[in-house]
Structure 1
Amino acid sequence: MSSLDSLFEAAKIVQAKAYAPYSRFKVGAAILTPSGKVFVGCNVENAAYPVGSCAEAGAISAMLAGGENRIAAIVVMGEGEHLVTPCGGCRQRIREFASPETPIHVAGPEGIRKSFTLDALLPFSFGPDNLTL
């Protein structure tokens, strides 16, 4: 099984664990780090909208808690006919730990639907290197 297949499966498994009683829109994310570790996250809604958290944010938190701090690739899994790409806030969160060339794969239940680089989803981004004096 390829690393992309493993990431897809991890995102699919964690998507089922999402807590989305209000929107009923479950999202899962799986991050691969350069060391080969995989970290997952799912969206968690809250009755006090918009206090919930995105799947990508959860996966990034798990990655940091696991002692890693670089994203080599990410899969974001959602339902429906439209691509479920990371929201603007999550694109910026991913940017903090990824390079412009980092692949972001958008998936549905049937498999990977489309792949982007971070630079394609967040062109001309502001990141940690902008703060280096």
Structure 2
Amino acid sequence: MTDLKSAAIAVRENAHAPYSNFQVGAALRTASGAVFAGCNVENVAYPQGTCAEAGAIAAMVAAGEREIAEVYVVAGSPMPVTPCGGCRQKLAEFGGGDVPVTMATVAGVEQRTTLGELLPGAFSQAFLDTDA
């Protein structure tokens, strides 16, 4: 996990957060062992920004990978920050409920959970089956 932690901490420094000054870095490992990282990118039109987790997922998909095996998220906050609701669903698109998620502060406080604990009852392809 140290490579995920290092990648998330390093990419956090590249965050574009001039409005909130709240920099977030995320790194994920795929089933193949590859690591992808992303940082939050704010926009003056607030809802148009991108979360760190979404950036890491976009990099993963752009590289042709599709299966998340582990996630690490770090922010400059007094306690670990969970992925937002939208990012929880994005992570669930590419990872099962047992995928470990570590949330951390830059001071080194860590909290571990799973995607399933973060998003019980995630919306999935199963809901789109039209056999009813």
TM-score bin (small chain): over 0.9
Residues 61-119 of structure 1 deviation map (CA, whole Å, 9 limit, x = unaligned): 00000110010001011011122110000000001000010011101123351111111
Match of 2:2 among 5, 13, 23: 5
CA contact (8 A) 1:104 1:118 kept: yes
1:68 — aligned with what? 65
Equivalent positions of 1:1-133 (< 5 A) are 4-111=1-108, 113-132=110-129, 133=131
Distance 1:111 1:82, change over 3 A: closer
Q: Structure 1 length as normaliser, TM-score?
A: 0.93
What is the total number of aligned residue pairs between the two structures?
130
CA contact (8 A) 1:7 1:30 kept: yes
CA contact (8 A) 2:80 2:109 kept: no
Aligned-partner Cα distance in 1 for 2:43–2:9: 22
CA contact (8 A) 2:30 2:68 kept: yes
Runs of 4+ residues over 3 Å off in structure 1:
none
Distance 1:65 1:112, change over 3 A: farther
State the identity as a percent.
Answer: 50
Q: Structure 2 length as normaliser, TM-score?
A: 0.94
Q: CA RMSD in A?
A: 1.1
CA contact (8 A) 2:74 2:80 kept: no
Q: Tell me, which stretches of 5 or more residues in structure 1 are unaligned?
A: none
Aligned-partner Cα distance in 1 for 2:109–2:80: 10
Aligned-partner Cα distance in 2 for 1:119–1:76: 16
Partner SS state of residue 72, structure 1: strand
The residue type equivalent to 1:20 in the other structure is A
The residue type equivalent to 1:24 in the other structure is N
